[in-house]
Structure 1
Amino acid sequence: MNNAPLIFRREGDIAHIRFNRPNSLNAIDSAMAAVFLDTCQRLAAAPDIRVVTISGEGRAFMAGGDIAQFRDDPASIPDTLIGPMHEALQILTTLQAPVVASLQGAVAGAGMSLALACDLAIAADNTRFNFAYVNLGTSCDLGASWHLPRIVGLRRALEIALLSDPIDATEALRLGLVNRVVPESSLQQETQAIAARLAGAAPTAVGTLKRLFRTSGSRDFASQLAAEQEGFAACAATPEFSAAVAAFLGKRRVPSGR
């Protein structure tokens, strides 16, 4: 059995990150945070990676931060846990490769924040979200206060954060917290299928779209139009664009660009 807190593997141009503390419902401690940051740094140095999936071993995606560390060494949390996780998420959200969360069971606290930070989220029908931070007497981390209002709106985000009521998979889909819900037995297959579709798309187009959407909130309309024009020009200069246009005109299947 692999006792590492995180398992990383590649399948061609798809990278898989799997949290591996199932006995603790994959709760983050400082050791896991350090390995997660190192893994994200490796991804940033591998431009041939086209898609990243993130999942959790066992019954849960992630049940939040490690309560034992909260109890035994709370002063260490900001620097040795939150700091590395924040650095890792800055890398993931700026990668050209889209990041897909594959969720099951408990998705609570930091686990929910991490899921919100991913570009797409596929949930098993047994997934249960809980913001949970207020129940531990603390505010949030891992970008939850940035992502949640942008996904569900400010008023609903405050309700989710302040009341911390459990949210089942069906409600998460209605709120836009996830993109689709599948039977638990189909979660891995569905995640792989989505990853394969994304890996087969033109990488410059995918990366440019991700960047445009993620940075749109910091620009006015005129600046966003200029960024779109610049992005289109960059895509149009790639072989994938020429092949796609030729395929469309010839009613042929578009090459994957591999």
Structure 2
Amino acid sequence: MNSRVIILKTDEEIEFMREANRLVGMTLGELSKHIRPGITTLELDRIGEEFIRDHGAVPTFLGYGGFPNSLCTSVNENVVHGIPNNKPLQEGDIISIDCGTKLRGFCGDSAYTFCVGEVSEEVKKLLRITKESLYKGIEQAKEGNRIGDIGSAVQTWCEKHGYSVVRELVGHGIGREMHEAPEVPNYGRRGIGPLIRNGMCIAIEPMINMGGKKVVFENDGWTVRTKDRKPSAHFEHTVAIRNGKADILSTFEFIQENN
């Protein structure tokens, strides 16, 4: 793929993408029923993969670049790309679950950071501000704006509350492939970057740290954690630009039904 070419989608293609993304939302909702102290991320991975396949789709993460599982499960200081394992979740943990599906040739991608049991107010605030920053970014995803407007909105909101934005990992275009052009950073300046046009489909995914912005890439080749080992939060929606503004294709409604 030529990384500079942004593929605009037709209305019909966007509806296919909505189906794939709705299934991601349903999967995250199903997983939310099982998140509690004592469950392992490997068990969650099994539940997620089974749910996706039962609904006629395939998990896009499985085998992607050699990734060994269907979900990315990132606990506490792990920012993204955590590999599911047999370590039980503990009371007070947070876990980001990033999930992708492919259905009828199109991809869905969304992430949500969950609380495990009772979590400290300090950590709850990090989750709240990160989730709010996702919607601040989405507000800027409109025709005529630039990609930099999205990142600027996310960065401004999070830094105003004393948090830091990861630089090494960014959102992305999405369609028939899980990662397409353009890259969508969670930082930047207004008025720079590719022009946002109708038919553009992008995954916006703030990755926000309680401490410093620096991250470490672990030896497993996947897991990214905060250098200072302070907690990190991650929320992601896939959106399509239609009629000049963002149409959110993924959904958190199934999570909210269970909480």
TM-score by length of 1: 0.25
Structure whose alpha-carbon radius of gyration is higher: 1
Structure ranking higher in strand proportion: 2
TM-score by length of 2: 0.25
Higher relative contact order (CA 8 A, sep 6+): 2
Structure ranking higher in helix proportion: 1
